[in-house]
Amino acid sequence: MIRLRFFLYLLVLTLALFPVTAQASPPWEPSTALESAPAAPPTSRILVQYRRPLSRPESTGRVLSAAEVQGLSHRAGVALTYERSLGENWHVLRLPSPLSAEQTDELVHSLLDDPAVTAAEPDILLTTQLVPNDPYFYSQWNLTAPFGMNASTAWDMTTGSPSVPVAVIDTGSLPHQDLTGRLLPGYDFVSPDLDRDSQRGWDSDPSDPGTYGDGVYCSSSLPSSWHGIHVAGIFGASTNNNTGISGISWQNPILPVRALGICGTGYLSDIIAAMRWAGGLDVSGVPINPHPARVINLSLGGAGTCPIAFQSTIDELLARGVFTVAAAGNSSTDVAAFTPAGCQNIFTVAATDSYGYLASYSNYGNGVEISAPGSSILSLGNMGTTSPGGDSYSYKSGTSMATPHVSGAVALMLAVNPELTYNRILQIFQKRSTPFPTGSACANSRICGSGILNAGAAVDEAFQLYYLKIPNEFEPAYAGTAASLSSFLVRTYPVSATPEPVFTVSVGGQAATINRTTYRGTYWELEVTPPPWPNGLYDIQVTINGIPYSHEKAVMYGPQTFLPVISR
């Protein structure tokens, strides 16, 4: 009986290994394109300078009276708490809860209307400017260059979380000086006829024995790629250890899962089993994974539309809060005819070069969610041409290399906001990615996704969503399709409780019905019934006491579960 094979091939443009010491640093080009500026961290305090009393002009260290603090609270529209004097008539006051920089600016401007106030400003948070000490960090254009992923800004907020494992389903793992302490116990799902390790078949050792050619599935002259360790290193090489390169996540554990064997090929059924096990689902005959991943990296693929079994697995994992990130493919064609890139409910990643342009090899299309650096990416390697040898570092190119950048960014986002959903992450990518260069093929179309991954901006947005619950955000009171969408919530902030403001809300220029207004202590919550528009994207405008609110948003009516789309 002939066993039908469905192979998913490694997406690597070049598999040559070069020791770092023999390679020049990958160049990157200066550009006038601006990255999305990260927002200042939220703060829960403000600084106020009072005028010196005429009766005691030399008095600079007095404390404010309860009546003065009450007056400031009335001006601010929130209850302020006095902390201490700073001298020179400066005083520190605490807010009821942290506010974003934008909200704090509105509040301090309201305090300046008080004739007794000379100056008011946020008590801003200053942070370390985190740069790792790894010697090859400055050769990693993908982390820091103008069209890199802006990793350093993300690291100022988080370096990851040990409680959010990320699975790398690939050719397997190897010991490496730059992966010390980073790997969880994994598993091997390569079937015997594609396996050349000593145990032949599924087992608990995810080590990569080498993918060199056998003359059947690929040329016998093809050397081992060490693809899995290269991908894992991009995501999570040991960082700030004075060794080698820097990984994107410093703390998220790596779960190595081997599903690709000889020639870098693997059966669809084995890859599905690997995904299920990695995400904590049951796989017959295999012990349950004690460290289920929240993110699964698939730097692999093959021609063909998304198989039903594959899509079913993706959906089952997503229902458990496990996100799948997949390479777009290296065939310079539409991802719709590629698996798993053409599947739904995943993050499909195209590759860009150091100029910000779509890489010549990268697939593209409406199925791409986002692009990320994929050309000349420095990561971990091995000196062996067939079986494993000594540690090395190498440059590779491909959408395989772009994919772990997005997996790393999602892991960092989950570290600051574990409640993120697939749609919310996608929304953040749409809102906070770096624009493609003006005049590029990607700049005027959606075939390369929402933009180039900007991890710093994405992590900042995730942080604010979790810790500030993003006032001025539109959130659904009911999740459903356009036909059944009954209402959504509008939060406006800061506005005082008394006197109650007069609100109006319009959607797409047509008045919406305000069902209720509720003051929540630090913001007003409005439940709104929108007009019956067809599916589409519509601007929302809120007015407060006849004045248009400065934050214009948008709301999506569509065939999928309702989630807001923010536009600023």
| pLDDT score of 212 | 95
DSSP letters along 412-424, please?
A: HHHHH-TT--HHH
Q: Does residue 295 sit in helix, strand or coil? A: strand
> Which one-letter DSSP state was computed for residue 193?
G
Give how far Cα 237 sits from Cα of 136, 137, 253, 395, Å: 12, 11, 10, 15
Query: What span, in angstroms and rounded, lies between the C-alpha atoms of 83 and 121?
Result: 15
Q: Which listed residue (170, 197, 334, 391) is catalytic?
A: 170
Tens digits of residue pLDDT in 459-469 = 988 887 776 55
Tens digits of residue pLDDT in 166-186 = 999 999 999 999 999 999 999
Residue ranges of domains in the chain, CATH in brackets: 43-122 (3.30.70), 161-210+218-411 (3.40.50.200), 474-557 (2.60.40.10)
Q: Does residue 281 sit in helix, strand or coil? A: coil
Q: What size, in residues, is the chain?
A: 568
| pLDDT score of 557 | 43
Residues (pLDDT < 50) of the chain are 1-7, 9-38, 54-55, 57, 128, 470-485, 493-494, 550-568
Contact 140, 371 (CB under 8 A): no
Q: Which listed residue (139, 246, 400, 407) is catalytic?
A: 400
Active-site residue 170, yes or no?
A: yes
Query: What span, in angstroms and rounded, lies between the C-alpha atoms of 367 and 361?
Result: 16
Query: What span, in angstroms and rounded, lies between the C-alpha atoms of 568 and 346?
Result: 26
Does the model's pTM come out above 0.85?
no
Q: Does residue 408 sit in helix, strand or coil? A: helix
Q: E strands of 367-465, at which residues?
A: 370-373, 377-382, 391-396
| pLDDT score of 522 | 58
| pLDDT score of 29 | 28
Query: What span, in angstroms and rounded, lies between the C-alpha atoms of 540 and 554?
Result: 5
Query: What span, in angstroms and rounded, lies between the C-alpha atoms of 157 and 164?
Result: 16
| pLDDT score of 363 | 96
Say which residues have a Cβ less than 8 Å from residue 549's Cβ, sequence separation at least 6: 472, 492, 541, 542, 543
Query: What span, in angstroms and rounded, lies between the C-alpha atoms of 263 and 210?
Result: 9
Say which residues have a Cβ less than 8 Å from residue 55's Cβ, sequence separation at least 6: none
Query: What span, in angstroms and rounded, lies between the C-alpha atoms of 151 and 454?
Result: 8
Residue in the structure block whose two tokens are 């700073």: 86
Active-site residue 400, yes or no?
A: yes
| pLDDT score of 490 | 64
Q: Does residue 491 sit in helix, strand or coil? A: strand
Residue ranges in 122-263 assigned as alpha helix (H):
141-144, 151-155, 227-236
Rounded to 10°, the helix 422-432/399-416 angle is 110
Q: Which listed residue (100, 161, 178, 227) is catalytic?
A: 227
Contact 11, 400 (CB under 8 A): yes
